[in-house]
A and B are shown apart, each in its own frame.
Chain A
Amino acid sequence: MTRGVASAPARRIPGAQRERPPRREHKLNRRQFVCVALLALLLVGVVLVHVWLRLQVVKTGYVLATATKLQTRLEQENRELQIELATLTSPDRLESLARRRLGLAPPEKGQVIVLP
């Protein structure tokens, strides 16, 4: 596009005003070029940022997935432990342990004393 603007007048008047090209136009061309270049750079920058963000999202997604998996595993472990605890403290087991290991028995007549 920049090239097109620069070469069009040269073709119409060959040789005639070669030493004095329209300075203002030339200046404008350069400014335009810088503008467009900056715009392009910006665009590329934006695209790069977008890609970077996207990568971050994916990366975080992995972390999140791992964390969720860990959470599920820990929850599962917690439930297993709860079940184990409940099984170990079931009245059936406690009674037999109290009787066998500790030699305990239900209180006999007179062993229960009510506080005044």
Chain B
Amino acid sequence: MRRSTQRNVRRIAAAKILFAVLFLAIGGRAIQLQLWEGDKLMRLGQRQHLKEWIVLPKRGAVFDRTGEPLALSMESQSVYARPHRIQDPTRLARSLAPILNLPLAETKQKITSEKPFVWMKRQVSSAEAEKIQALNVDGIGMFYEPHRQYPQGQLAGQLLGFVGRDSEGLEGLELKYNDYIRGETGSSMAERDALGRRVLVQGVEGLHIPPGSDIHLTLDTSIQYMAEKELEASVMKYRAKAGVAIVVEPFTGEVLALANYPSFNPNNYAKQSPEQRRNRAVTDSFEPGSTFKTILAAASLEEGIVGKDDLFYCEMGKYPYAGKIIHDTHPYGWLPFSKILQVSSNIGFTKVAEKVKKERYYRYIEKFGFGQLSGIDLPGEVPGLVRRPESWSAIDLATHAFGQGISTTPLQLIMAYAAIANGGFLMRPYVGRRVLAPDGSVVLENQPHVVRRVISEKTAKLLASMLQDVTSEGGTGVMANVEGFEVAGKTGTAQKADPVHGGYAAKKRVGSFVGFVPANNPRLVALVLIDEPEVNVYGGIVAAPVFRNIAQGALRRLAVAPDKASPLPVAESQPEKVNRRSTRRANFPAGGNEGTADFVGLSLREALEKAQTLGLKLRIQGNGYVVKQSRAPGKGSNDEEVVLLNLQG
């Protein structure tokens, strides 16, 4: 008994020692793992179950003034391959090629490449992506990449610019406002399970990265579209090299349209030449030609040197000045100043310039903003070239008088005309109206900004009335006339400098028209410039009709009522479609002698048409069809006071 107890005690002691040693060993190992290698092992473990999820930046959108989207961002998928993981390249190539619409040989070459990673196709459509997903092959994968879309295609392409593959704006507004609309890249560590699925246990906040801000422009898609269409039509018709059309709101400096030809579609920017990408309205300067005469006219009127009716002798078309001979297209004798502007006489303006003198003239050129940046929110603007009066030679005063030897951008020129239209203020033009953060707060807002007062309101009004003569009978800009409105403007046909031989190129011309409408209360200023037309070169012929068409459409779009009531054609000549109802119901009386006409039963449109033909004034109450008129038909006479019509739907 005692012996067995002793043995037990010894056994127990041995077991104790054994366990103690084991515990020590385990403890030691634990200490080693936790303290010495802890950090390294934790990193190793996390690498297996934690994965960094990268959130791509969401670029803000670009909208026009009515909220129509011009640029939107989406994520499209790009297909890649890891060639060394692919088991059966031949079979895979055969199934991949038709899905991705790639040649079989190219597909196979890509998936058998030595590289560890190859792009199969960037930015595939969602249909293609689904098919790739369905294949479910090891070694082929997809990656989300941001992709910029311009749903209107080439509309305002140069103005919008474009975005590179790495989501950075490279041109136009995309570049100028890049910092606002880019959006941030974010990343977050999230756990993943054995199958690689994401388990959002932590890092949820990290995935909510606010997208970039949206830009709202001053541009009007409809006016922009009309401007582009009309510009293209004229460039094609006169076989010109290029063209620019700009429409600006004169009192604010808001750009309503800015069109360039050749056009540029930012959806596939890489395939188009830098020539197409260029926004000529701000990056190119031209010798303006006769449109610049208005600047001299403004200077001479403002300084009180020349009055509207002062007479000048136009030398019957040939005037020797500073060793050269200045020509006019038509010979003129004595002409009043307003007529000189109307027929655009070079000799007349040379004589005006002689009176104004170069220093004073230069001061106005500078005041109107020439030779300086307009400050528009677009990249790549050039200031043009205006030499200081000290370096002008004797002939320069004459050439500057009719817009040669000086260069301006189309935008500078239109802003100078906007100053005449708005009563004398040079405005800073802008395209971006406001930048809105995703939560709707305003990040940036461009307000109308007066750069300086250039001329007095009196001079501006006088000049506007003189410019109105240019588009009336006998002027150079008759074709710019818009039905029902008074147009003020000036044509220009400039020679182009020859960069190779010096001097002017024999045949190259720039035809232009700048003007505003309605002349007395301008709602828009527009400039049309046709570069190197071949069929005809005169601004009054190649550019003025474009101005008319754009202005007509734009005024309708802006709902501006005509200030001259146009005589209405007789009812019979109206298109059948419009007056279907009236032919059935109403017979227009031939004259107004049978007393007040019968309006009952007519629609509002028919009643108004009828009243207009009869020269009758109406007052309208309600909507729909006329049920009652204040004076019974046949009573009184049509040319008496206002007739009140009651309408019901």
Contacts and interface: CB of A to CB of B under 8 A. Distances in A.
Interface of A: 57-58, 61-62, 64-65, 68-69, 76, 79-80, 82-84, 86-87, 89-92, 95, 103, 106-116
Interface of B: 68-69, 72-75, 126, 149, 151-153, 155, 190-191, 197-201, 204, 207, 221-222, 225, 483, 553, 556, 561-562, 565-569, 574-575, 577-578, 605, 608-609, 612, 617-620
B561 A83 contact: no
Contact of A58 (B75, B199, B556): B199
A68 B608 contact: no
Contacts of B221: 91
B263 to A, nearest CB: 11
Contacts of A68: 198, 200, 207
Contacts of B68: 86, 89
Contacts of A111: 574-575, 578
Contact of A65 (B126, B199, B608, B620): B199
Contacts of B566: 109-110
Contact of B562 (A57, A65, A90, A114): A114
Given A68-B200, A76-B74, A83-B74, A116 B152 contact: no
A95 B199 CA distance: 50
A58 B609 contact: no
A70 B155 CA distance: 34
B605 A113 contact: yes
Contacts of B561: 114
Given A83-B72, A113-B609, 19 more contacts: A58-B199, A58-B201, A61-B191, A61-B199, A65-B190, A65-B198, A80-B126, A83-B69, A86-B151, A91-B152, A91-B225, A92-B152, A103-B577, A109-B569, A110-B566, A112-B556, A114-B565, A115-B620, A116-B618
A98 to B, nearest CB: 12
A68 to B, nearest CB: 7
A110 B608 contact: no
Given A90-B151, A106-B553, A108-B575, A62 B199 contact: yes
A115 B74 contact: no
A29 B62 CA distance: 81
Contacts of B556: 106-107, 112
B153 A83 contact: no
A64 B197 CA distance: 12
Contacts of A107: 556
- Determine the main DSSP class of A at the interface with B: helix
Contacts of A112: 556, 562
Contacts of A65: 190, 197-200
A43 to B, nearest CB: 20
A111 B190 CA distance: 66
A33 to B, nearest CB: 23
A62 to B, nearest CB: 6
A68 B204 CA distance: 10
Contact of B612 (A92, A106, A113): A113
A91 B553 CA distance: 13
A79 B72 contact: yes
A61 B569 contact: no
Given A68-B207, A76-B74, A91-B225, A62 B151 contact: no
A92 B156 CA distance: 13
Contact of B75 (A61, A76, A95, A103): A76
A64 B501 CA distance: 72
A91 to B, nearest CB: 4
B201 A57 contact: yes
Nearest to A108: B575
A9 B197 CA distance: 62
A86 B152 contact: yes
A35 to B, nearest CB: 26
Nearest to B605: A113
21 contacts: A61-B199, A62-B199, A65-B190, A65-B198, A76-B75, A84-B151, A86-B69, A89-B68, A90-B151, A90-B152, A90-B155, A91-B155, A91-B221, A91-B222, A110-B567, A110-B568, A110-B569, A111-B575, A111-B578, A112-B556, A114-B562
Which of B200, B562, B608 is most buried by chain A, counting CB atoms within 10 A of its CB? B200
Contacts of B553: 106
Nearest to B211: A75
B201 A116 contact: no
A108 to B, nearest CB: 7
Contacts of B608: 113, 115-116
Top 5 A-B pairs ranked by shortest CB distance? A86-B151, A61-B199, A91-B225, A64-B200, A79-B74
Nearest to A58: B199
Contacts of A84: 151
A116 B619 contact: yes
Nearest to A89: B68
A1 B115 CA distance: 66
A115 B222 CA distance: 24
A58 B569 CA distance: 79
Contacts of B197: 62, 65
B427 to A, nearest CB: 27
A90 B605 CA distance: 30
A64 B203 CA distance: 12
A110 B605 CA distance: 11
Contacts of A87: 151-152
A112 to B, nearest CB: 7
Nearest to B568: A110
Contacts of B191: 61
Nearest to B567: A110
Contacts of B198: 65, 68-69
A22 B620 CA distance: 116
B216 to A, nearest CB: 15
Contacts of A69: 198
Nearest to B222: A91
A67 to B, nearest CB: 9
Contacts of B126: 80
A77 B630 CA distance: 59
A114 to B, nearest CB: 5
A80 B76 CA distance: 10
Contacts of B153: 90, 92
A92 B74 contact: no
